[in-house]
Amino acid sequence: MPSFDIVSEVDKHQLTNAVDQVNRTVTNRFDFKGVDAQVEMNDFSLVVRAEADIQVDQMVDMLRGALVKCDIDPLAMEVGEKEQSGKQVKVAITLKNGLDKELSKKIVKMIKDEKLKVQAAIQGDQVRVTGKKRDDLQQVMTMLRGKELDQPLQFNNFRD
């Protein structure tokens, strides 16, 4: 029976590449000369540090562009509030990795509302969709691509 999994994953290697690219750009840019500014990465959480508010905003935009170049959807970024501490301005950024329960339930409900001949089941941080026909599964994929969700989705493990 054909099936596939709906997941939301961020490639850690590509994320590391994007962070390194932003840090390299910051060291080479003229407007950042002599400024203590960098992006620190710890698993899927990032901290952007700089000396001024506007520099932090520029670095977040640079990070967004670097993520797009590394094939990571910027929707996965969740930017926190700016914090002033001494001379430094910090902003915490977390990357959504895996589907949470609420989004999984929402996806299953959307699939059931389409009244296609498929079954959707939540399995941990992914949703497995099975059906008799391959065409039905492809309809589910196109329907989900057209929906506005607050997290990027990938479809993998397609079995025939």
Residue 80 pLDDT exceeds 80 = yes
Mean pLDDT computed over every residue of the chain: 88
pTM score, two decimals? 0.82
Per-residue model confidence as pLDDT tens digits over 109-154: 888 888 888 888 888 888 888 888 888 888 888 888 888 888 888 8
Residue 68, pLDDT score: 92
The fraction of the chain above a pLDDT of 70, given in percent, is 100
Distances (CA, A) of 113 to 1, 24, 39, 136: 22, 48, 43, 14
Structure tokens at 6: 């709906």
Mean predicted confidence (pLDDT) in 45-68: 91
Structure tokens at 122: 């939540």
